[in-house]
Structure 1
Amino acid sequence: MNQRQRAILRQLLANKGEPVLVQDLAVMAGCSEKTIRNDFHAIQGRLSENTSIKLVRKPGVGVFLEGNEIEEGKLFEELNSFPHINKADEGSRAVDIAFQLIMSSEPLTLEQLAAKHFVNKAVIKKDLDGIEKWLREMNLMLAARQKVGIQVTGLEKDRRKALANLPALIHSSTLNLLKEKFSSYEMDIVQTELKDLQQKYSLSFTDETMEHLLIHVLFLIKRTKLKYPITISPHEHERIKEKMEYQWAKHFLRKLEIIFIVHFPEEEIIYLALHFLGSKQRYQSDKVEHPEGPELVPFLIKKMSEATSLSFELDQALIDGLSVHITPVLNRLNYGLAVSNPMLNDIKKMYPYIFDVVMTVIDEANNVFSLQIPEEEGAYLTLHFQTSIERLQKRDGRMKEVVIVCHMGIGMSQLLRTKLERKFHSIRVIDCIGKLELLSFIKKYPVDFVISTIDLKGLKDTPYIVVSPLLDVVEEQQLGHFIEQLSRTESEVGKKSVMSAFLEPDLIFLDCNVEHPYELIEFMAEALVKRGYVGKDYPHSALSRERMSATTIGSGIAIPHGSPKMVHSSVIAAAALKKPLKWGTELVSLVFMIAIRPDEKDKTKDLFRELSELTERPEVVQAAVHEMDQKIFLEHLLKKSR
């Protein structure tokens, strides 16, 4: 059970069999009645484990416990003994505390927060440390006054941005937050009206945009009801009022006024219109408002082609996709709208090479066009270019031929085939067959590999991978890595790895003890300067790149690097940390300082592939990090990179 469910059970035990209304429990827990009713299932499950106590629910009367007094007494003592709280509970508590502080107009004391969450003040103080750092990213401050309490200070627009981004505090789902803070009735109404708006104005918002608009509208309603108005400058008001998005927002909010019995002032219409301006649509023909907009897409494609030696300019689907994508990007930048990307860390881990090239090109674009495109947008652009690479491979005939072995019949096998062909453009599915047909089939039609829904232990000479018929997200990632590994030519497999070629023994630093990522980056970069591998400005370049976007790639690995133009001779330095270091949003234990010359871009690509593979072997990372002998440290890493 989580903290809220324990609190509900504690309250029911304290009432000693007297009914409690669901409404009262919802007020006590600070959530909806639906959430309380859902919690009853978890509570009953806990009671059934080792007690005879029953949770009784009587419509119109309330909820109460029925059972043995001795068992109830023991359970009450157990709940009051502050059992160990798991990470999920800690995250839920942090989000709830942040929500309370942002929503409250009055200071809250440590005692109040500790009492609500049934923990001591030391635990709340620890939560507040993390919350305070996160609030600063949202341009909000956490002010504490002795004998008064703690209070969030800042502009209303920043409060709303923080509320909409609460899931990012613990990398949780936006929908989970909405279900906690709003009733299903409120959510259904707003979703229905958004769909009607699309139909009326022939709009085509993406699923991500619909979720984004849903959370912003729900908080807009809540904050308006609580009389916390948004402030819009006269200049911005005049700019937005002439746009069609203003008409959409006005029509939409006027309908919600009737349903929610609330009046939305003009500023709220402008505020929502701004979010419409920054929204992604599946199809978009509007002109980009930023004066440099028409030149940005060709610039990105040209620079990406030069950096990767790939002909992105030949992919019309990429050009069309970027043209649609770039409009809301520039609108968001133009109007100062925040962007979030829940897939950011996954994209950096799955496609480290393309992401890094994209961020380098974005840095150039920011300077040329006077923009500030953030890493979240860089991750979205990475997906566009990665998908283009798969299309170009398909066009060039470099496709893997596969056969599907499915044990669940033709319907399920065709569903799996459709998913595979939609997700992976670099494979061609020859057929869907049963396990008994496999050996005779591959004798007649040799394939590159087999995708199966059951284990094929007896299969020799032909690679295979096992997935579920529904092909979930994790399996998609695993299949992507599997295909990438098979794509290596025999010459690539046999040649020396980039890591073993460039990782210098005298640039391996073990058991490092540093307080901040920048301290380590500067130390490692200066070591390269002293040995003549890079120019004197390389440390500054590496720090600038890190400020753009944390170079973490998952599994406790970071790969800081500066501009390749400053590299005299290609080299890699490595550092193992004495204790994990907070690096962006991740904890890092192993750091590679990369310096590869620009005329060796193929080696850069190979190195990123090796590093990506290393992230799939956390046991190798941990073994290397805890090693004190340089030679054995190298052996651990090169086992993976060969």
Structure 2
Amino acid sequence: MRKRQQILLRKLLLADGQVTLVQNLAEELDCSEKTIRNDLQVVESFLEEQSNGQLIRKPGVGVSVEISEDEKQNILSLMQTDNNVKRNVLGVVEQKEILYRLLIHENISIQQLTDRYFVSHTTIKKVIEEMETWLKTRNVQIQTKQKVGIVVKAAEKDIRIAIQQIDYFKEKKDSSSFSFVYQQVQEHERRALDQSLLTFISHYQIPLTDESIKSLKIYMIVMMKRLKTNHIIEISKDRVSFITKKQEFQWIEKLVEELEDIFLIKVPDHEKVYLTMQFLGAKFQERHEDVSASVDKQAEWIAEVLTKRLSVLALMPFGNDETLKEGLKVHLYSVLNRLTYELPVQNPLASDIKQMYPFMFDALITALQDMEEELPFKIPEDEVAFLTLHYQASVERIRGERQLNKKIVIVCHMGIGVSEILRSKIATSFHETDIIAILPQNKLQTFLKERSVDLIVSTVPLDDIVIPHVTVTPLFNENDKNKLRNVLKGKVESQGVSDSILKSYLKENYIFLHLDIEHRFELIEKLSERLVHDGLVETDYGHQALIRERAAATAIGGGIAIPHGDPNLVRESTIVVVTLKEPIIWGTESVSLIFFLVLKQESSDKRRRLFHQLSRLAGNPEKVAKVTGVTDIDEFLAIMD
């Protein structure tokens, strides 16, 4: 066998009968799925020659090896003898496997990992260093101890959160695709779990989003895996007393009875309480009858106050949009529960949302800062990004509905906000369409039996659907628009934005190229001092800009940041431009081009156009590279034309 084929066989043998996706194998070994299938034929022949083992193929599911432990060890020894040179690279899936094993069992030796993955100690240590950095952001520490190995130190809740988020290690995971953790249980357990949860949702008529259903499944798998290693969540007596009185706790108790039969383990009461909290923090497609009246009232109040403030900041009549009102209430109800029970939220679209809709995101940050003393919790940045979608969808609705004709259904796994963005973008750009429904994937088949549909636009791949369908990303970018255009064979209106807005604010004496700065706060302070000296801003402007920056980093993607302070402290509007010799970390992003927005209170339309232009620049890496590469101001201004 060739080297790649040996690695493939080794991986299947070490999977201990677990089914592995061909797609994952192809990604890990950096080749096509066709190559993997060809290699599997070689692997199958080798197994037949060397043992009684069998290669098991499950169409649409994956592959595995059935073999006795003795024969497995013999083959592994044989392959190790045949190979004197170890690999120096681990695939992303293999790295996730290591991270998962480490978090589940809390310790593992480097020698075990080198033997299992047939790589050098140096390779393993490099991977562990990357994991250490990633885990620190999740309050999890790992240490390497002699004679013990790699050890995990963290609170049980933080370990579980890290396991749930393994999909985000080393890559920006699209939550519509397969979850790594979901694949770590046997197929019959997955089927039983899927059925139990769907029956539970149907029985109590709970309108969960597809995303929330998936998240609950993953958490239940993590819970069972940790319980099997004798790790139990501890909940305060007050919290236990509060949760056990809720009707949702009674529902969860019945669901847990089925889970205990599936996973053959007893679930303690504290775990039932914490699972109930996970359920309470889940997202809903629509308002559910069985809600907490006090939380519902609080969500309604926040939605009303926030909408009034955004209406002023954006000069948009948001208060007239009933779809926005209802969507915000539903979303904020879940947000308040998540914050109450200290549940994490991971918004995989946050960076894209900030880049695509910087004006609306910034307006929300500003409004929430003004409401800070009135709010029961600080709204984290990932949640602000979700709220941005609700208001941006409303903006596009307000711009006007068109006369439509082609019948389209949207299937979206990420809830009301994202669904409405999709609906609004398609309705605005493709006038020949009539969007007759927005559905979660689990309701599509039933709907299709009752209604005639010309086309389905989906954020998740659809199997066994004969009706024409196109898969798009949740934020519906230009590539997605082209996909849909090709399907519809129509024309998309072009709504260009003048490039003169940004340049109208630029002055040569406020363009600084190739500065050497180590921290964003240092840069903001230095620029603010210059602006105060020149009389363009009040003394407190820099301080207010730092407060805004601490509330949420102003990086908008594409290597660009747009720090700014209070418009009421600006005497004369300008935009200070800075390029850096070396990029610096701005929040969580690497930034090399900064536009310090020093703007008085001006028309929201002009401000929107400016933010739109900055967003377009952030989406143009070639232009950003040119801008940050020049050292001459005239050349800089020429590129900005």
Deviates more, 1:496-505 or 1:213-222: 496-505
Structure 2 match to 1:302: 308
1:33 aligns with 2:19: yes
Structure 1 segments, 4+ long, off by >6 Å, are: 5-8, 40-44, 47-52, 416-422, 479-485
Deviation, 1:300, is 0.6
Deviation, 1:555, is 1.8
CA distance, structure 2, for counterparts of residue 48 and residue 481 of structure 1: 34
Question: Any stretches of 5+ residues in structure 2 without a counterpart?
Answer: 56-64, 66-77, 412-418, 435-467, 483-490
CA distance, structure 1, for counterparts of residue 337 and residue 180 of structure 2: 27
Deviation, 1:122, is 4.2
Q: How does 1:20-419 map to 2 (within 5 A)?
A: 24-27=13-16, 32-35=18-21, 39=25, 46=35, 55-56=44-45, 58=48, 61-62=53-54, 80=85, 82=87, 85=89, 91-106=92-107, 108-145=108-145, 148-169=148-169, 170-173=171-174, 175-284=178-287, 285=289, 286-287=291-292, 289-290=294-295, 292-394=298-400
CA distance, structure 2, for counterparts of residue 256 and residue 166 of structure 1: 23
Deviation, 1:11, is 7.8
Structure 2 match to 1:515: 518
CA distance, structure 2, for counterparts of residue 38 and residue 430 of structure 1: 39
CA distance, structure 1, for counterparts of residue 363 and residue 251 of structure 2: 38
Q: Is the 8 A contact 2:104 2:225 kept in 1?
A: no
CA distance, structure 2, for counterparts of residue 542 and residue 283 of structure 1: 38
Residue 151 of structure 2 aligns to a residue in which SS? strand
1:570 aligns with 2:570: no
Equivalent residue letter for 1:354? M
Deviation, 1:177, is 1.3
Equivalent residue letter for 2:392? Q
Residue 610 of structure 2 aligns to a residue in which SS? helix
Q: Is the 8 A contact 1:507 1:574 kept in 2?
A: yes
Higher RCO, Cα 8 Å, sep 6+: 2
Residue 598 of structure 1 aligns to a residue in which SS? coil
Residue 373 of structure 2 aligns to a residue in which SS? helix
Residue 587 of structure 1 aligns to a residue in which SS? strand
Deviation, 1:487, is 3.6
TM-score by length of 1: 0.77
Structure 1 match to 2:636: 633
CA distance, structure 1, for counterparts of residue 481 and residue 303 of structure 2: 29
Deviation, 1:357, is 1.0
CA distance, structure 2, for counterparts of residue 484 and residue 145 of structure 1: 61
In structure 2, the CA distance between the partners of 1:121 and 1:625, relative to structure 1 (3 Å rule), is farther
Q: Is the 8 A contact 1:510 1:577 kept in 2?
A: yes
CA distance, structure 2, for counterparts of residue 115 and residue 538 of structure 1: 59
Deviates more, 1:530-539 or 1:189-198: 530-539
Q: Is the 8 A contact 1:8 1:25 kept in 2?
A: no
Q: Is the 8 A contact 1:230 1:268 kept in 2?
A: yes
1:503 aligns with 2:506: yes
In structure 2, the CA distance between the partners of 1:561 and 1:111, relative to structure 1 (3 Å rule), is farther
Q: Is the 8 A contact 2:516 2:582 kept in 1?
A: yes
Deviation, 1:523, is 3.2
In structure 2, the CA distance between the partners of 1:261 and 1:379, relative to structure 1 (3 Å rule), is same
Equivalent residue letter for 1:335? Y
Deviation, 1:620, is 0.8
Residue 525 of structure 1 aligns to a residue in which SS? helix
Residue 503 of structure 1 aligns to a residue in which SS? coil
Residue 232 of structure 1 aligns to a residue in which SS? coil
In structure 2, the CA distance between the partners of 1:236 and 1:535, relative to structure 1 (3 Å rule), is same
Q: In the TM superposition, what whole-angstrom CA distance separates every residue of 1:72-122 from its partner, at most 9, and x where no partner exists? A: 99x976x93646x4xxx564454333323322233x344444454444444
Number of equivalent positions: 557
Q: In the TM superposition, what whole-angstrom CA distance separates every residue of 1:390-422 from its partner, at most 9, and x where no partner exists? A: 111116xxx5x899xxxxxxxxx7559999867
CA distance, structure 1, for counterparts of residue 527 and residue 623 of structure 2: 22
Equivalent residue letter for 1:385? Y
In structure 2, the CA distance between the partners of 1:166 and 1:563, relative to structure 1 (3 Å rule), is farther
Deviates more, 1:575-584 or 1:198-207: 575-584
Q: Is the 8 A contact 1:35 1:179 kept in 2?
A: no
CA distance, structure 2, for counterparts of residue 417 and residue 137 of structure 1: 35
TM-score by length of 2: 0.77
Q: In the TM superposition, what whole-angstrom CA distance separates every residue of 1:149-193 from its partner, at most 9, and x where no partner exists? A: 332211111111111112223322452313543333332222211
Q: Is the 8 A contact 1:498 1:607 kept in 2?
A: yes
Residue 138 of structure 1 aligns to a residue in which SS? coil
Equivalent residue letter for 2:85? N
Q: How does 1:453-492 map to 2 (within 5 A)?
A: 470=470, 472-473=472-473, 476-478=476-478, 486-487=494-495
Deviation, 1:265, is 0.6
Deviation, 1:143, is 3.3
Q: Is the 8 A contact 1:417 1:429 kept in 2?
A: no
CA distance, structure 2, for counterparts of residue 333 and residue 113 of structure 1: 38
In structure 2, the CA distance between the partners of 1:469 and 1:219, relative to structure 1 (3 Å rule), is closer
Residue 528 of structure 1 aligns to a residue in which SS? helix
Q: Is the 8 A contact 1:289 1:330 kept in 2?
A: no
Q: Is the 8 A contact 1:535 1:567 kept in 2?
A: yes
Deviates more, 1:127-136 or 1:196-205: 127-136
